[in-house]
Amino acid sequence: MSGCTDPARWSTPISRMRLEGADTRRFLHGQSSQAIELAPSGACLPTCLISPTGRMRALALVRLDATGADLLVLAGNGAAVHQGLDRVLFPADQVKLGAVEAATLVRWIGAAPEAIDATAANLLAPGVDLGVDLGAGPNQPVWLQASGEPLPSWLAPLPELSPEAAEQLRLRQGFPAEPGELNDSTNPFELGLAPWVSLNKGCYVGQETLAKLATYDGVKQQLRCWRSVDTDPAAAAICIPGAPLTTAAGERAGVITSVLAGPDGLEGLALVRRQALEQAQLLAGGGDSGAEPCPLQLSVPAGFVAPPVGAGGLG
């Protein structure tokens, strides 16, 4: 990340809900994209909550223990997730769904603090060896901070990133956020979330759609970073969320999903159509808008994982 090489931390508000009961793992297994039912106590698993048609609703971590699980909604509407789970709970299910609580997820970059307590219950290492990236690098642990709790002594001294610096890091890592990348028109593979999906776990909500995407080369777009090479101030009026992208030949190429005007200029994320993924540069604006098109340089986000083989990958 430009201008941020020293150790630092940043905090993100999340939603937390507790599920208790003998059927907790089976229930979450069927309602999310990760293999949960046979996972051991103590595991922390990254998962996508998706619609029956495979569209994104939320990103979450599931922390399992002997009596149930904590569901941590990292991105998406926690209240909507709770309502959706409550709607599909049957009286026969041995699951008690607790209320939505506010919590904080703390990430850090740079060298790990020397005094880090690797055994602490709130130190989460989601999907170890899956290459899962929560915004600070593959397999990087995170800290779960309950409302009102202080940070541990090894984490508190790290300086807090500014909101602008934290957003720049999110964009360059390609960690999706609502509503730009995480919405009813995207699926996990388009957003580079292949490690968050188990293709071998059997039936779950959205499984049929994701299996078809992985089998029949069905991923039509992928997430990319973009940066404006135009220093004209007018570029800021062109490069806005929802702005269409085209190739130099005028062909439809995608849409901008997130934008940051920072010290390094304009940058952000975009969903790029499969036919344009090999383009190093695309154009924003122009066409019917009457404005001079703004050239954008494209790159693969640092945390993006290519779709499964045969699912729209480029190689």
Q: Of all residues in the chain, what percent carry a pLDDT higher than 70?
A: 93
Q: Which value, to the nearest 10 degrees, does the dihedral of the CA atoms of residues 77, 83, 85, 90 take? A: 180
pLDDT digits 0-9 by tens, 15-36: 999 999 999 999 999 999 999 9
Backbone dihedral angles phi then psi of residue 184, each to the nearest 5 degrees: -75, 5
Out of 63-72, 144-153, 167-176, 229-238, which region has the weakest mean confidence (pLDDT)?
229-238
Asked if residue 97 has pLDDT above 90, the reply is yes
pLDDT digits 0-9 by tens, 154-167: 899 999 999 999 99
The predicted structure's pLDDT at residue 314: 37
Terminal Cα distance for the chain, rounded:
27
C-alpha–C-alpha distance, residues 84 and 95, integer Å? 14
Q: What tokens were used for 21? A: 């009961």
pLDDT digits 0-9 by tens, 28-79: 999 999 999 999 999 999 999 999 988 999 999 999 999 999 999 999 999 9
Structural domains of the chain sorted by starting position, each given as residue range(s) with its CATH number in brackets: 8-173 (3.30.70.1400), 221-299 (2.40.30.110)
**296 by DSSP, 3-state: which?**
strand
C-alpha 187 chain-centroid distance = 11
For 81, residues 6+ apart whose C-beta sits below 8 A from its C-beta are 15, 17, 49, 57, 58, 60, 71, 73
Task: Supply the pTM of this predicted model.
Answer: 0.91
Q: Of all residues in the chain, what percent carry a pLDDT higher than 90?
A: 70
Q: What tokens were used for 30? A: 């069927």
Tell me the average pLDDT of the chain. 90
C-alpha–C-alpha distance, residues 298 and 195, integer Å? 23
Asked if residue 232 has pLDDT above 90, the reply is no
Instruction: From 22, 142, 123, select the one nearest 74 (Cα to Cα).
Output: 142
Mean pLDDT of the region 242-252: 94
pLDDT digits 0-9 by tens, 195-218: 999 988 878 888 888 888 888 778
Q: Categorize the per-residue pLDDT at 289 as very low, low, confident or very high, splitting at 50, 70 and 90.
A: low
Asked if residue 5 has pLDDT above 70, the reply is no
The predicted structure's pLDDT at residue 261: 93
Question: What does the DSSP assignment read for 169-206?
Answer: HHHHHT---TTTTSSTT--TTTTTBGGG--SSS---TT
pLDDT, greater one: 52 or 292: 52
Instruction: From 71, 159, 59, 126, select the one nearest 151 (Cα to Cα).
Output: 159
The predicted structure's pLDDT at residue 111: 67
